[in-house]
C-alpha cells in the first residue's frame, strides 16, 4: 500500500492543464492513487492532486455507503453534457475544509480507457456524474472556487486558510 502526499491549493500544479496519458503503463500509479484516495476519505482523486500532470483519475462513488465501485479513467473525454444542471456544494481533497457551490450538468456521457488500456463509453448521472466532472476539472487545471464569479471567489478564498 502506497499512500502518496496530496497536493494542497494554492500549489501551481493545480492550475496546470495535464497532458494525455498515452500508451504508458500506469497500473501501479492507479493502485497508489486508490490507496491515497481511500486513506484520505475521498471518492475521487486526479493525478495532479498527487503531482502527476497526466490525464488520469480514480473514483469510487459508492464505497462510503458500502457499495464499492472503484474505477480508473485514463484520458477521459466528456462527449455529451445534459442541458439540465444542478448546484451542489463540493469538497476537495486539495482544498480541505472548503465547500463550494458548483453548478454542473446532472448527467454526462464519458469516453475513457481503463488501466489495462480497454476503451469504454458510458452514461453517468447523479453523484457519479458530478464526481467525474470535478476530477476532469483537475485535469484541466481548475479547482472548485474557479466556478465562482471573481468577487465571490475572492471573498471565499480570503477567509480560507490552508490546514
| pLDDT score of 63 | 87
Q: Is the pLDDT of residue 32 over 70?
A: yes
Report how far residue 163's alpha carbon sits from residue 156's, in angstroms, rounded to the nearest whole number.
15
Q: Is the pLDDT of residue 127 over 90?
A: yes
SS3 at position 114: coil
- Spot the catalytic one: 71, 90, 128, 135: 135
Tell me the β-bridge partners of 78: 110
* 47-87 confidence digits (pLDDT tens): 999 999 999 999 999 888 888 999 999 999 999 999 999 99
Cell numbers describing residue 138 = 483537475
Task: Please say if 27 is a catalytic residue.
Answer: no
pTM of the model: 0.95
| pLDDT score of 111 | 98
Structural domains present in the chain:
12-158 (3.90.45.10)
Q: Which segments of the chain are extended strands (E)? A: 44-46, 56-59, 71-81, 85-90, 100-105, 107-113, 119-125
Amino acid at each position: 500500500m502506497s499512500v502518496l502526499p496530496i497536493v494542497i491549493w494554492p500549489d501551481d500544479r493545480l492550475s496546470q492543464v495535464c497532458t494525455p496519458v498515452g500508451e504508458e503503463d500506469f497500473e501501479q500509479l492507479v493502485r497508489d492513487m486508490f490507496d491515497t484516495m481511500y486513506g484520505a476519505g475521498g471518492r475521487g482523486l486526479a493525478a495532479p492532486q498527487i503531482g502527476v500532470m497526466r490525464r488520469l483519475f480514480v473514483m469510487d462513488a459508492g464505497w462510503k455507503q458500502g457499495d464499492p465501485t472503484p474505477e480508473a479513467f485514463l484520458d477521459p473525454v466528456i462527449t455529451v453534457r445534459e442541458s439540465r444542471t444542478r448546484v451542489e456544494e463540493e469538497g476537495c481533497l486539495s482544498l480541505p475544509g472548503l465547500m463550494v457551490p458548483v453548478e454542473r450538468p446532472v448527467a454526462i456521457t464519458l469516453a475513457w480507457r481503463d488501466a489495462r488500456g480497454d476503451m469504454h463509453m458510458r452514461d453517468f448521472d447523479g453523484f457519479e456524474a458530478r464526481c467525474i466532472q470535478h476530477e476532469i476539472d483537475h485535469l484541466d487545471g481548475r479547482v472548485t472556487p474557479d466556478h465562482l464569479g471573481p468577487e465571490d471567489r475572492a471573498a471565499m478564498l480570503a477567509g480560507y486558510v490552508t490546514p
